Amino acid sequence: MKLDKLVNDYRVNHLLREQSDLDAYKASPNFDYLLMRAITGLTEEGKRHSHKYRISQSTFRSVYKYLKEKENEFRACKTFEEVLAIIYFGRLDGFCAGFGPLSIYDTALCIAAYLNIYPEFIYLHCGAEQGAINLLGLERLNEKASFYLDDLEFSYLLPMDFPLEVQELSPFHIENFLCIYKDLLKSA
């Protein structure tokens, strides 16, 4: 399938749902409720997001306790990268052990949405990284990728690193698009 058709398919079949999911975090009644849902990946229907299936309850409790103490720091954030940094440094300090790059990104995205902040870059992990490799090729990816705080587990690209069809999506939608269509991007 051609790239423009895949982007259109994402718009028709995924974009509104993905935006609605983030809007639900944005509408959380309070920060505690937001944290509980963001950390565990609980949907409005009470189901856990597949990205967080393998994370233990003790990890959730540890991450919640750490992030709850950072509420004022989160509220002072002006960029997604500042939100990401709070969780990222919690992992480095051992408070968020067991919380990998994908969980850190997903949790940061939910908290940032609550604060009406969104990423400017496309963070690559798991499926999104494979999608970027399939779309851009490994050589171009390696040439263009930057690393958050020089951490090789936290690579990201700029929207302009992607073909024009993809650039029409916002960065967090590009991340979702890459993950959802990773296998189809080999032939796009």
pLDDT of residue 98: 77
Q: What pairs with residue 146 in β-bridges? A: 156
> Which segments of the chain have a pLDDT < 50?
none
- Side chain identity at residue 161, one-letter code: D
pLDDT of residue 1: 78
pLDDT of residue 81: 95
In sign, the C-alpha dihedral spanning 76, 73, 118, 61 is negative
pLDDT of residue 48: 55
How far is 146 from 55, CA to CA, in rounded Å?
28
Task: Provide φ and ψ at 147, rounded to 5°.
Answer: -125, 125
pLDDT of residue 115: 97
pTM exceeding the 0.85 threshold for the entire prediction: yes
How far is 6 from 165, CA to CA, in rounded Å?
9
The conformation of residue 47, written as its DSSP 8-state character, comes to P
Which residues, including other chains, have CB under 8 Å from residue 148's CB and lie 6 or more apart?
81, 84, 88, 123, 154, 155, 156
